[in-house]
Amino acid sequence: MNQNKIAKIFISHGHNELLKLKLKNFIAERLGLYPVILAEQPDLGLTIIEKLEKYGKDCDFALIILTADDQTVNGGIRARQNVIHELGFFHGILGRDKVLLLKQFNVELFANISGLIYKEFEDDKIESIFEDIRFAIETGSAQSRGESVPKKKTDDSEEFSSKISKSIDVVTYEWPKIERRNLLDEMKMITKGLAEDMQVKRVKKFLEDKRKDYEKRLSEAEAEAEKSKETFKADPDHGGKMAAMILSISTTIAPKSTIGFIDKLLNEISFLDSNNVKAQDIINRIIGLFDEEQ
């Protein structure tokens, strides 16, 4: 390795497993570096966002694979929303120079990532840009041998706010669902093997404790969002500060949504319990509410 000493390379990917494996093998076998893929890291009881924060912050460079996974209402093709979220995360913590987009041909880009560098490849032929990836990593700069997403400037605060709102919708759409699914999985685990009446008590206590955790997370996220807003106001043309602001604002949405959902579950438990509903029926109803929200 060169003087930049880049060792850990985060790989963000969509549904295309072949591309992920090709890139992972290239990083590990050809470059002798350590590829970090979120799904392959130990969970350690963490939510997906917590895993991203834990393992992502130790990475030196991020490769973001934008593949044709989702269709837009206009008939276009875009990358998965978790990939867009991870793009914003690494744009914020590493800066533009350490984030390289690997874009499959015909996948849509969007204005709010202006200034980021991308390399394009056709079909599943990601190996066609391996040399550019190697060069970017070894020089420690994504600016080399790449195309820059055109930068657009606007002085219209209303138009800009609209773009920010749309970006927040993109990066946070799936996270509340993921948080609820994690809650359900944890709930099932802690009640396994318990008597029915104890299951209800344990679920109620579990939800009350989780609500406190999410209140703390929300408070911290809102504080960070305010700091990020002020930083961005001081330099609205800085792409990295814009992405960091988008990410910080988006992290408030999942805890808000989850707190509201937990309140719904606790109210439902209290109502059913006060009406002498059987314990197992209460548990089934709570699981049903999880399924309805997905």
| Domains defined along the chain, listed by start | 8-144 (3.40.50.450), 156-292 (no CATH)
Q: In which residue are the tokens 């593949």 written?
A: 67
Mean pLDDT over residues 137-147, rounded?
72
Give the separation between CA 225 and CA 20, rounded to whole angstroms: 32
Q: Are 116 and 90 in contact (CB under 8 A)?
A: no
Residues 6+ apart with CB under 8 A from 115: 96, 148, 149, 151, 239, 240
What does the pLDDT read at residue 238? 64
DSSP 168: H
Whether the model pTM is above 0.85: no
What does the pLDDT read at residue 209? 92
pLDDT in tens, 262-288: 999 999 999 988 888 888 888 888 888
What does the pLDDT read at residue 230? 79
What does the pLDDT read at residue 9? 95
What does the pLDDT read at residue 185? 84
pLDDT greater at residue 10 or residue 182: 10
Tell whether the model's pLDDT for residue 237 goes beyond 50: yes
* Token pair for 195: 């008597």
* Token pair for 31: 């470059």
Give the separation between CA 40 and CA 5, rounded to whole angstroms: 23
* Token pair for 220: 């911290």
Q: Looking at the DSSP assignment, which residues form a beta bridge with residue 159?
A: none
Q: Name the amino acid, one letter, at 93.
A: I
**Burial class of residue 62, CB neighbours in 10 A (0-12, 13-18, 19+):** buried
Backbone φ/ψ region at 129: left (φ over 0), alpha (ψ -120 to 50), beta: alpha
89 membership: H or E segment, kind and range: helix 81-94
CB atoms within 10 A of CB 165: 11
pLDDT in tens, 189-233: 888 888 888 888 999 999 999 899 889 888 887 888 788 777 767
Q: Where are the alpha helices (DSSP H) in 140-278?
A: 157-172, 175-191, 196-234, 239-250, 253-274
Mean pLDDT over residues 33-60, rounded?
88
Q: How confident is the model at residue 80 (pLDDT cuts 50, 70, 90)?
A: confident
